[in-house]
Amino acid sequence: MFDIPELDEKVCLQLHRHSVLQCAKVNKKWRRIFTPYIWRDLSGYRSIRDSKAFCKMILHDYLEEHERQQQQQPPKENPRLEQSTQKRSSPPLSLLAKYGACIRLIPENPSSLLNDLTNGISYLSKEQPIDLTPQDLFRHLLKHCTALDVPHLRLKGSCLQSNHLLETVADFIVPLAHRMVIGSGPVESWKLKHLLTRCSSKLKELTLDTVIIGPKDGKGDEEESDEEEVINTGAQPRYLRLDFCEDALESKAFWSWLWKRSMHVERLEVLSTYGMVHNLAEGMLSHMSNLDKIELGSETFAFRDEDGYDAYCMEQEDEHVATLLSSCRKGWKAVQIRSGAFFGDAAWNSLVNHFFTLEEMVVLGGVSIGGNQLRRILSSCPNLHTLITIDDGTYFNSDDFSVDMYAEQFVDLDHATLSLNPWACERSLKVLKVLVIRVSDRPNRYRYSAPQSLVYKRLARFTNLETLWLGHDPHIEVERHPSISVEPQDDRLQMSLESGLDMLQGLTALQELGVSNMETLIGWKELQWMTQHWPRLCIIRGMDEKGRDKEAAQWLQDHHSGIKLQAEWRKKR
């Protein structure tokens, strides 16, 4: 090996576990280097053979340590024996004492590791009786994992049902978590409090997906009545996500307890909160003084109503969205609205109050935001740097619905002067992902249409634009629904020099262009023009490099191989 720890680590982390085991058998030097990486990740034990061997190792280590502790405690009435014991050399370290510090990763859901121990005990008990529980071995293992890192922790099922396991997880794993998800299903409020108070400053993200219930026995009575808790300890996340949260208790005391520990929250995501909107809004105003980013609604699939139209199950009504949008003391910098949130007049009026601070607006799925509202956002927000209305693969809706703008709305022409109305974000906008439809040079083809030249003029005003998407993400349909057929966007910009592409020569900061599923006329001359006028361009999405755009794609590969092409999804089947 290299005798350079940084290089050794890069090599070892790329090898499969079996390969690491083989390397450790080469010689003593390689054994010393590779052995810690055998222990590094415990998330891969899944076979019965692995579970049995893993459990057997933990069991023997537990018994050896227990026996050693008994030998190191001689009877006090025999001082000579005690002196003799102290003079002995220390016994050899157990495997876990020796290599426990090498263990860095465990499964996201600790229950899976406990299941491995449970399966191992069940097989070992056939050979000899075992008077130990999987929870005992689990705690013994974690006690030796002194360098454990927990980037993502998911607590559900047995981790929340067993008090013994809950204590173990709270003692050894929760304080190390960077991101934690608790749910799903009903959870007693005292258990949530106990887990959250054991968190440390490492916790950055917290997700709750649960129904709050009271204690099932007397276990939680004392914790429920304790009001003398220190607020600035335990979980203080910067990102708080509330999935499908509900409270079966009339007092709603847990949420008030949580809001007091949410003073550092900067980003809030709310999928659905049954009957808790006003409680949450009060918590946002009273305690979340750093909050300036919000995401409302969830990825929702459309269904057919009685008239045969697509309909959505709204998890948040217009008034709920409006209430939450009105509950920001700092002013929203980033707002994301998805299918499950209904965006009506009340929500719009709440959003308008944050136009001056708004920097990022994302609208995904079947929400009721139209082209005129998008135009109002673009024309009125002086700090806006991102507007996304295209499903770019982060979220998915069953009908691939994206909020679009008519070309006439996007151009925003002052008919009195026949010039473009100025927009507040012309210098600040850096990311624009929007479908501009009904671009037509043919008169009277569409209502609300506009010629290509005016659309180019509007785009040319975004002088600091870095990302421009005018078509769908090329991966969505082929990865999720390869059978879906989408009509080409033949009423979009042609993106050719003849249609006016040279009007965009001022977009010198442009790095990414997306034209997927558009009937463009991009040839090698257009690509040559782009490389000359857009020096930072590094990726083009949507060119058909194996079909009609093959010649242009080959030219780009020959002359500018540093620019990557992402083919259209419908050409990749």
What pLDDT does residue 214 have? 83
Minimum mean pLDDT among 161-170, 212-221, 459-468: which range?
212-221
Residues 6+ away with beta carbon under 8 Å from 51: 45, 116, 117, 119, 120, 123
* Residue 27 lies inside a defined structural domain of this protein: yes
Closest listed residue to residue 11, CA positions, set 286, 54, 2: 2
Handedness of CA 328, 331, 334, 339 (dihedral sign): positive
Does residue 504 have a pLDDT over 60? yes
Per DSSP, what are the bridge partners of residue 303? 311
What pLDDT does residue 46 have? 55
Containing structural domain, residue 28? 5-78+91-142
H-type helices in 88-162, by residue range?
Answer: 95-99, 110-124, 134-143, 158-161
CB 509 within 8 A of CB 464: yes
Does residue 60 have a pLDDT over 50? yes
* Residue 173 lies inside a defined structural domain of this protein: no
Residue 240 DSSP SS3: strand
Residue written as token pair 């075992």: 130
Residue 444 falls in which region: left (phi positive, over 0), alpha (psi -120 to 50) or beta: left
Does residue 218 have a pLDDT over 60? no
The letter for the amino acid at 377 is: I
CB 537 within 8 A of CB 511: yes
* Residue 268 lies inside a defined structural domain of this protein: no
Mean pLDDT of 364-380: 88
CA distance 373 to 347: 12
* Residue 61 lies inside a defined structural domain of this protein: yes
Token pair belonging to 339:
């299918």
Does residue 213 have a pLDDT over 60? yes
Mean pLDDT of 129-150: 86
For residue range 238-274, list pLDDT tens digits in order.
999 998 888 888 788 999 999 999 999 999 999 887 7
Minimum mean pLDDT among 201-205, 206-210, 219-223: which range?
219-223
What pLDDT does residue 198 have? 94
CB 298 within 8 A of CB 315: yes
Instruction: Give CA torsion, residues 72, 74, 80, 84, to 10 deg.
Output: -20
Q: Count CA atoms within 13 Å of residue 418 on its CB side.
A: 0
Does residue 80 have a pLDDT over 90? no
Average pLDDT value for the chain = 82
Does residue 480 have a pLDDT over 50? no
Q: Count CA atoms within 13 Å of residue 494 on its CB side.
A: 15
Model-level pTM? 0.84
Does residue 228 have a pLDDT over 50? no
CB 270 within 8 A of CB 316: yes
What pLDDT does residue 267 have? 97
Mean pLDDT of 489-515: 91
Backbone dihedral angles phi then psi of residue 304, each to the nearest 5 degrees? -85, 130
Q: What percent of the chain has pLDDT over 90?
A: 43
Does residue 398 have a pLDDT over 50? no
CA distance 113 to 137: 11
For residue range 313-343, list pLDDT tens digits in order.
567 889 999 999 999 999 999 999 988 888 8
Give the residue with greater pLDDT, 382 vs 31: 382
Mean pLDDT of 210-232: 60
Handedness of CA 117, 119, 124, 128 (dihedral sign): positive
Does residue 418 have a pLDDT over 70? yes
Does residue 302 have a pLDDT over 60? no
Does residue 440 have a pLDDT over 50? yes
In three-state form (DSSP H/G/I as H, E/B as E, the rest C), the secondary structure along 193-222 is HHHHHCCCCCCCEEEEEEEEECCCCHHHHH
pLDDT-based confidence at residue 447 (cuts at 50, 70, 90): confident
For residue range 516-571, list pLDDT tens digits in order.
888 888 999 999 999 999 999 999 988 877 777 889 989 999 999 999 987 654 43
CB 414 within 8 A of CB 454: no
Mean pLDDT of 383-411: 78
The letter for the amino acid at 179 is: R
* Residue 569 lies inside a defined structural domain of this protein: yes
What pLDDT does residue 530 have? 96
Closest listed residue to residue 383, CA positions, set 310, 302, 495, 464: 464
CA-to-CA separations, 19 to 9, 16, 25, 37, 41, in angstroms, rounded: 14, 5, 10, 11, 14
Does residue 364 have a pLDDT over 60? yes
* Residue 546 lies inside a defined structural domain of this protein: yes
CA distance 154 to 180: 6
Number of domains in the chain: 2
What pLDDT does residue 369 have? 85
* Residue 185 lies inside a defined structural domain of this protein: no
CA distance 22 to 18: 6
CA distance 258 to 304: 39
* Residue 230 lies inside a defined structural domain of this protein: no
Interior angle at CA 74, CA 69 and CA 76, nearest 5:
135
Element (H, E) at 56: helix 48-71
What pLDDT does residue 226 have? 47
